């Protein structure tokens, strides 16, 4: 079973709202990732958590705040977003500690629209 | 410089045609991994294959096959007898030493019409 789940599927929010994206995996994977994908572009890495600790932050603006409450759960808290933040947000997980040898398995994504 | 080049932006074929998606990569590492992912219109990235740099054997999985050639730094993907359900964007990706940061190509959109 290589399932990564994400909620919600779609989210529309205003620039002053606070919302959260949720990602869950029950495969015992030790690394979890957030990606942002704009239309007709490849995914861009935002954050990597390894053993519940933030290991990579790709210079993401502070209006995006990741959280890893436990090894199965990854959240992305959103606050004061801009319309250009509208995108598909993908979560992924991998078995190892986020090493280059790992295969990343992706969830279905959350389509975010910022008005 | 692009590390993963997918020169074909969009390919259109008719069902049952064979189609090859090209991927050329660039790395100085001797140990690395290459991946193919499929992204249908629903948005989920579906893992198809992983190949490490020491394994140049071609791989076949049903209608899918992959040709890895280190001499030309290429990892091409062929779909035999394409079907409408194969319509998607296909990404080739490279993973080098250090943390697992995938470098994606720009993707190739495959449209298979009935």
Tens-place pLDDT, residues A13-53: 999 899 999 999 989 999 999 999 999 999 999 999 999 99
**Token pair belonging to B44:** 């989920």
Put simply, whether B40 touches A (Cβ < 8 Å) is no
Rounded CA separation A22/A32 (Å) = 12
Q: Can you name the residues that pair with B102 across neighbouring β-strands?
A: none
Whether residue A43 and residue B107 make contact (CB cut-off 8 A), yes or no, is no
**Residue A104: per-residue pLDDT:** 93
Name the residue among B98, B104, B106 with its Cβ closest to that of A100: B98
User: Which residues of B, range 5-24, sit inside 8 Å of A by Cβ?
Assistant: none
**Residue B100: per-residue pLDDT:** 64
Whether residue A48 and residue B100 make contact (CB cut-off 8 A), yes or no, is yes
A62 CA to centre of own chain: 14
Rounded CA separation B87/B34 (Å) = 22
Name the residue among B37, B52, B99 with its Cβ closest to that of A99: B99
Question: Which residues of chain A make contact with B50, given a CB cutoff of 8 A?
Answer: 103
Residue B96 or residue B113, greater confidence: B113
Can you tell me the mean pLDDT for B77-95?
A: 97
């Amino acid at each position: 079973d290589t399932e990564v789940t994400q909620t919600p599927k779609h989210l529309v929010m205003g620039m002053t709202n606070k919302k959260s994206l949720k990602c869950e995996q029950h495969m015992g994977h030790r690394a979890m990732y957030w990606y942002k994908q704009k239309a007709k572009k490849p995914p861009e890495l935002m954050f990597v958590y390894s053993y519940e600790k933030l290991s990579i932050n790709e210079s993401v603006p502070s209006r995006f705040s990741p959280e890893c409450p436990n090894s199965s759960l990854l959240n992305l808290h959103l606050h004061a977003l801009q319309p250009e933040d509208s995108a598909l947000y993908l979560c992924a997980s991998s078995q190892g500690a986020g090493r280059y040898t790992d295969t990343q398995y992706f969830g279905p994504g959350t389509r975010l629209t910022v008005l | 410089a692009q590390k993963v080049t997918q020169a074909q932006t969009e390919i259109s074929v008719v069902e049952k045609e064979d189609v090859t998606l090209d991927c050329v990569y660039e790395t100085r590492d001797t140990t690395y991994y290459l991946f193919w992912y499929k992204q249908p219109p629903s948005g989920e990235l579906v893992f198809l294959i992983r190949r490490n740099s020491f394994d140049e054997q071609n791989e076949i999985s049903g209608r899918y096959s992959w040709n890895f050639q280190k001499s030309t730094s290429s990892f091409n993907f062929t779909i035999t007898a394409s079907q409408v359900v194969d319509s998607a964007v296909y990404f080739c990706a490279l993973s080098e030493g250090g943390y697992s940061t995938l470098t994606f190509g720009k993707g190739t959109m495959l449209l298979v019409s009935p």
